[in-house]
Amino acid sequence: MEESIVSFKAKGNELILVMREEDDFDRILESLGRKLDSSGRFFRGASLDVRYRGKKLNEEQERIISEMIAEKAAAEIVSFSEDEDHPEQDDPRDHEEPGRTRDKLRMKLLYFRGLEEGMTKFHRGTVRSGTLVSYEGNVVILGDVNPGGEVVAAGNVVVMGSLRGLVHAGADGNKEAIVAALSLQPTQLRIADVITRPPDSGEQKQGILPEIAFVKDDMVYIETFLPQYK
C-alpha cells in the first residue's frame, strides 16, 4: 500500500523517518513528497533532529531528503542521520495496533495511524475566521467552525456544533478518516486527497441534523448520523 512506503514517528523535536527497504529511492522520494504535502504543516517552524530507518541512503540521498523535509515542512533540520539504534527490522508495515499494555507508550512514539482510538485534541470554543486548529491525531471541536476557520487532522474530525469552515481529515493520506458534525455545511470538506464542494444555496438543509462524511470509491459520501423521526 502507498502509505506503507514511508511513515513518520515523532517524539518531541525528533522525527524518525521509516522507509521500506525494498523500494527504490525515486519511489520513496515521490511518496515522501506526497506525505509532506498533506501533513508537513504539523512540523512547521520546528527544529527537527531527523533520523531514518529501513532504506540505506548515501550522502547525496540524505541531502535530497533533508532539503525536501525542510522545504515542504517549513522546518529547520538540525541533524539528519541513520538511526543505528533501530535496524531495518522496524518496517512501516509492522506498525499495527499496539497491545493494550503498551498503548500509552507506543502512542507517544508513533506518528498517528489509528482512527477508532489514538491521540485526540479537544478544542473548546468557536474556531473563528483566520484560525487554524491542526493535530496529528483526531480533533474534536467543542463549538462551531465559522467560515474562514480551518480544522486539519491526520485522523477524524468531530465538530460538536456547526461546521461552516474548511475541514481536512485524514491529512496524512488516510481515506478511512471521517468528518462528523451536528450541522455539516463546510465551505470545503476534504478527506485525504478527496475534496467535495459545498451544497448550492438551494440545497441548504433546514434545522440541525448530525451528519457524517466518509470516502467510498474515491468519492465523499454524507449520511445522517442519527435516524430522523417525523
Same domain flag for 105 and 125? no
Give the pLDDT of residue 98.
Answer: 38
In tens, the pLDDT along 132-188 reads 999 988 999 999 999 999 999 989 999 999 999 999 999 888 888 999 999 999 988
Quick one: cell of 21?
527497504
In tens, the pLDDT along 57-108 reads 999 999 999 999 999 888 889 999 998 765 444 444 344 343 433 443 344 3
Give the pLDDT of residue 208.
Answer: 62
Q: What is the mean pLDDT of the chain?
A: 78
Q: Which domain holds residue 188?
A: 120-224
Domain boundary among 57, 87, 109: 109
Beta strands in 63-119 (DSSP E): 76-82
Same domain flag for 127 and 217? yes
Instruction: Work out how many domains the chain is built from and give that number.
Output: 2
Neighbours of 77 (CB within 10 A): 18
CA angle 139, 124, 73 (to 5 degrees): 45
Same domain flag for 162 and 185? yes
- Residue with the larger pLDDT of the pair 42 and 17: 17
Same domain flag for 23 and 42? yes
Domain presence at residue 179: yes
Quick one: cell of 37?
504535502
Q: Which of 198, 202, 208 lies closest to 228, judged by CA?
A: 208
Same domain flag for 143 and 208? yes
Give the pLDDT of residue 81.
Answer: 93
Bridge-based pairing of strands 179-184 and 194-196 is unpaired
Domain boundary among 61, 77, 109: 109
Q: Which of 167, 170, 168, 159 lies closest to 114, judged by CA?
A: 170
Same domain flag for 60 and 127? no
pTM score above 0.75: no
Tell me the backbone φ, ψ of residue 224, rounded to 5 degrees. Answer: -65, 140
- Residue with the larger pLDDT of the pair 24 and 93: 24
Domain presence at residue 199: yes
What is the C-alpha separation between 228 and 176, in angstroms, rounded?
Answer: 25
Same domain flag for 76 and 169? no
Tell me the backbone φ, ψ of residue 92, rounded to 5 degrees. Answer: -60, -20
* CATH number of the domain where residue 171 is located: 2.160.20.70
Give the pLDDT of residue 114.
Answer: 47
Domain presence at residue 77: yes
Domain presence at residue 114: no
Same domain flag for 155 and 196? yes
In tens, the pLDDT along 31-66 reads 898 888 766 666 777 788 899 998 999 999 999 999
Query: Is residue 202 predicted with pLDDT exceeding 50?
Result: no
Q: What pLDDT band is residue 26 in, cutting at 50, 70 and 90?
A: very high
Same domain flag for 128 and 100? no
Give the pLDDT of residue 111.
Answer: 38
Same domain flag for 83 and 147? no
Same domain flag for 104 and 156? no
Region of poorest pLDDT, from 1-5, 47-51, 161-165, 216-220: 1-5
- Residue with the larger pLDDT of the pair 28 and 94: 28
Domain presence at residue 151: yes
Domain presence at residue 137: yes
CA distances from 33 to 23, 29, 77, 172, 186 (A): 15, 6, 16, 11, 28
Same domain flag for 168 and 214? yes
Domain presence at residue 115: no
